[in-house]
Chain A
Amino acid sequence: MSAAICAWAAMVGGVDGALDPGARAWLAGAQVARAELSPRERWPEAPPRVRRLDRAALHALLVARRVVAATSAWPGDEVGVVLGTALGCAEVNSRYHRGLVEGGYDAASPMLFAQTIPSTPVGEVSIAFGLRGHSATVMAGGCSGVAAVAEAVRAIDSGRVRAALVLAGDTFGEDEVALRLARGLAPPGEATVALVLCDPRDADARAPRVSASLAHDEGAPYRGEIDWLGATGLLELLAWLDGEGARFERTVRCASGRRGELRASRGRGS
Chain B
Amino acid sequence: MPTRAEPEHRGIDVLGVGAVSAAGRGLETLWRATLAARPLAEPVRRYAPSGCRTRRAALVPDEIVEALRATWPDEDLAVALCLEAAREALGGRALHPDAAVLVGTSLGGVAAWEPWHRARLVGAAPPPPRCATHDDVAPQVASRMGARGPALTLSSACTSGAAALIVAGDMVRAGEVPEALVLGVDVLGAFVHVGFDRLGALAPDDLAPAPFAADRAGLWLGEGCAALLLGRGPGVARYLGGASASDGVHMTAPDRDGDGMRRAISAALADARRAPSDIAWVSAHATATRYNDAMEAAALRTIFGDAAPPVHALKPVTGHTLGASGLLEAALATRALRERVRPPTASRARDPELPWIHLDPRAEPMGAGLALSINAAMAGHNTAIVLGAAA
Option from A137, A160, A179, A214 in Cβ contact (under 8 Å) with B156: A137
Number of A-B contacts (CB under 8 A): 220
Q: Determine if B163 is an interface residue (Cβ-Cβ < 8 Å).
A: yes
Chain A 103-143: CB-based contact to B (< 8 A → 1; otherwise 0)? 01110111001101111101110110011111111111100
Q: Size band of the A side of the interface?
A: 35 or more
Interface residues of A (CB under 8 A from B): 1, 76-77, 81, 86-90, 93-94, 96-98, 100-102, 104-106, 108-110, 113-114, 116-120, 122-124, 126-127, 130-141, 144, 147, 150-151, 154-155, 157-160, 162, 175, 178-179, 182-183, 199, 213-218, 256-258
Contact status of A117 and B128, CB under 8 A, knowing A139-B153, A257-B151:
no
Check A98 against B121 for contact (C-beta < 8 Å): yes
Check A113 against B198 for contact (C-beta < 8 Å): yes
* Complex Cα gap A56–B207 (Å): 37
Q: Which of A104, A132, A159 has the most chain B CB atoms closer than 10 A to its own CB? A: A132
Top-3 shortest CB links A-B: A123-B379, A105-B51, A113-B195
Check B151 against A138 for contact (C-beta < 8 Å): no
Check A101 against B150 for contact (C-beta < 8 Å): no
Check A77 against B51 for contact (C-beta < 8 Å): no
Chain A residue with Cβ nearest B132: A179
Q: Distance in Å from the Cβ of A111 to the closest Cβ of chain B?
A: 9
Report chain B residues within 8 Å CB of A178. Answer: 120
Check A136 against B163 for contact (C-beta < 8 Å): yes
Chain A residue with Cβ nearest B163: A136
Contact residues of B between 165 and 207, Cβ < 8 Å to A = 167, 170-171, 173-174, 176, 190-191, 194-200
* Complex Cα gap A144–B198 (Å): 31
Q: Would you call the interface of chain A mostly helix, strand, loop, or mixed?
A: mixed
Check B381 against A120 for contact (C-beta < 8 Å): no
Report chain A residues within 8 Å CB of B117. Answer: 94, 97-98, 101, 175
Check B243 against A134 for contact (C-beta < 8 Å): yes
* Complex Cα gap A101–B361 (Å): 42
Check A123 against B246 for contact (C-beta < 8 Å): yes
* Complex Cα gap A105–B190 (Å): 10
Option from B149, B153, B176, B246 in Cβ contact (under 8 Å) with A216: B149
Check B154 against A138 for contact (C-beta < 8 Å): yes
